[in-house]
Amino acid sequence: MDTLLKIKNLQLGYGNEEMLRIDELNLTHNSVTALLGPSGTGKSSLINAILRESPSLSYWEKGKFYLEGERLDKSLSEKQIGHVLQKARLFTGTVLENFTDDLEFLKLESDAAQKNFAREVFQRLGIWELFEDILDKPAIKQSMGIHKMLLIAKAVASKPKLLLLDEVLANTSLKDEEIIIGVIKKLKEITTVLLITHNKEEAKEISDSIALVSGGVLHEHTETNQFFKQPQTELGKEFLQSGSAWYSNPLNDIVKKENQLSILRRFSSICEFYWILPNQLGGMQKPGLMTELEDDLKIMQQLGVDCLVSLQQKPIDPHELSKFQIEGVHFPIKDMGVPEIDKTFEFLSLMQKYFDEGKSVIYHCKAGMGRTGIMLACNLIFLNKISAIKAIEKIRSINHKYIQTDEQIEFVGKFELYLKSRT
């Protein structure tokens, strides 16, 4: 079988730490490859690399990716690669609205036409009877298994050449797990699948080949039947016996010589600093929470931060910010809570001037997750006129910890509807 995806001489990591090394990995057309290994060994990092994502300033990467012989870049990845991430969930809107949200060719179609298309996709995956009566029901009320099946169907609808599935059986019931396994088996009739998992039984039942990763290194890539009969490596044998096989990677020694870039990367990993729109809009935890405030502000100045919006009850001292040419703005939100919709609209209307002037805006709460996630999503909706679903997917593709409660998720959906009501 010919190769769909080729990965060559890959090294990737965060800051001074190498997370994953793959000398070569080839995925063939219409196959399921299980990237198997203990948790925390760099498997999910490969997803970001294939998607050509840079999760944070601390991320670095070397190596080459080819899709059907063509060098894989961000544009090609977006067109030809689908994915369902480990922490992915559906949010506002109905099941059907979530299914059709990114499918531009369905936007102008009638409700009946959209349902017919959904039926065709679900039937092809063998799960139509599960969705037939819930298309108009709220997505957020459905089980995690239904969420995962819907996300897979949504990805398949775009006809990707490669589909990345990251721990898709996690947090699902045994009944739903069996159904999802059946769905994945059908997928190789449609596309090529890279399945990220730490579960050897799951990999054995679903995959055609096993790529074993441990300690951030790819140790072997073998046909599934062969791997479970006679692994090529001692680590493979150990993994089959215990379900765990840890390899100490000598490449993770701390690099003593630091330059400016490594300092910035380290700051990102410590302070949860992420650009949502590069050099325009971002989020972080409270400056000074993990290190000295002055040190954080100094690096923020180097990053080009012009405005810091504090979402806590007590903001960062404006005088301290001014020392580093950073303007402070205060918009308090109760911890784990949500703001008022009309006040959020008024606030974002005032903030528009910063973006019009080409200034960069960073939001922060204490941990940089819940309240920060709310405002980043709402700001994306306000600036780019995108849906709540797309806004949440965007910020969570960069940091899956953004937005912490169902109430906060629902607020973002209500804010989208509020904006529409004003136009």
pLDDT class for 236, splitting at 50, 70, 90?
A: confident
Angle among Cα 62, 68, 74 to the nearest 5 degrees reads 50
pLDDT class for 109, splitting at 50, 70, 90?
A: confident
> Residue 8 forms beta bridges with which residues?
24, 64
Q: How are strands ordered across the β-sheet holding 59-67?
A: 70-71, 59-67, 3-14, 17-28, 217-223, 209-214, 32-36, 192-197, 162-166, 81-84
* Residue 299: per-residue pLDDT: 86
* Residue 3: per-residue pLDDT: 93
Query: How far is it, in rounded angstroms, from Cα 262 to Cα 299?
Result: 12
What are the backbone dihedrals phi and psi of residue 117, each rounded to the nearest 5 degrees, phi first? -65, -45
Shortest CA distance to 136 belongs to which of 92, 108, 89, 97? 97
* Residue 105: per-residue pLDDT: 76
* Residue 271: per-residue pLDDT: 80
CA–CA distance from 95 to each of 126, 143, 163, 394 (Å)?
17, 12, 21, 19
Residue by residue, DSSP assigns 281-334 as EEEES-TTSSS-HHHHHHHHHHHT--EEEE-SSSPPPHHHHHTTT-EEEE----
- The distance from CA 373 to its chain's CA centroid, rounded to whole angstroms, is 14
Look at the domain 260-421 and name its fold. Answer: Protein-Tyrosine Phosphatase; Chain A (3.90.190)
Query: How far is it, in rounded angstroms, from Cα 265 to Cα 313?
Result: 29
Q: Taken in order 238, 240, 246, 249, is the CA torsion positive or negative?
A: positive
Q: Does this chain's domain 3-90+142-250 share its CATH topology with 260-421? A: no
Which CATH superfamily, name and number, covers 3-90+142-250?
P-loop containing nucleotide triphosphate hydrolases (3.40.50.300)
- Report the range of poorest mean pLDDT among 164-173, 245-254, 291-300: 245-254
Residue 280 is classified by DSSP as T
Taking the model in full, what pTM does it have?
0.65
pLDDT class for 260, splitting at 50, 70, 90?
A: very low
Q: Average pLDDT of the chain? A: 86
pLDDT class for 251, splitting at 50, 70, 90?
A: very low
Angle among Cα 277, 77, 404 to the nearest 5 degrees reads 45
Between 53 and 243, the more confident residue is 53
- The residue-averaged pLDDT of 16-30 equals 89
What does the pLDDT look like over 123-152, one tens digit per residue? 999 999 999 999 999 888 888 899 999 999
What does the pLDDT look like over 343-382, one tens digit per residue? 999 999 999 988 888 889 999 999 999 999 999 999 999 9
What does the pLDDT look like over 192-227, one tens digit per residue? 999 998 888 889 999 999 999 887 889 999 999 999
- Cα diameter, the chain: 67
Q: Is the pLDDT of residue 37 over 90?
A: no
- The residue-averaged pLDDT of 170-185 equals 90
Angle between helices 341-356 and 370-384 (to 10 degrees): 70
Tokens at 6, concatenated: 């080729």
Query: How far is it, in rounded angstroms, from Cα 420 to Cα 408?
Result: 19
pLDDT class for 254, splitting at 50, 70, 90?
A: very low
Token pair 């997505």: residue? 139
* Residue 108: per-residue pLDDT: 66
pLDDT class for 269, splitting at 50, 70, 90?
A: low
Q: Is the pLDDT of residue 390 over 80?
A: yes
Cβ-Cβ contacts under 8 Å for 259 (sequence gap 6 or more): none
What are the backbone dihedrals phi and psi of residue 286, each rounded to the nearest 5 degrees, phi first? -60, 125
Shortest CA distance to 381 belongs to which of 404, 358, 352, 360? 352
* Residue 87: per-residue pLDDT: 61
* Residue 323: per-residue pLDDT: 85
Query: How far is it, in rounded angstroms, from Cα 248 to Cα 216?
Result: 9
What does the pLDDT look like over 80-104, one tens digit per residue? 999 987 666 666 689 998 898 878 7
Between 170 and 10, the more confident residue is 10
- Report the range of poorest mean pLDDT among 228-242, 244-258, 360-374: 244-258
* Residue 1: per-residue pLDDT: 59
Q: Is the pLDDT of residue 248 over 80?
A: no
pLDDT class for 258, splitting at 50, 70, 90?
A: very low
Please classify residue 170 by burial: count the beta carbons closer than 10 Å to its beta carbon, then call 0-12 exposed, 13-18 middle and 19+ buried: middle
| Domain residue limits, the chain | 3-90+142-250, 260-421
Query: How far is it, in rounded angstroms, from Cα 31 to Cα 284?
Result: 40
Q: Is the pLDDT of residue 256 over 50?
A: no
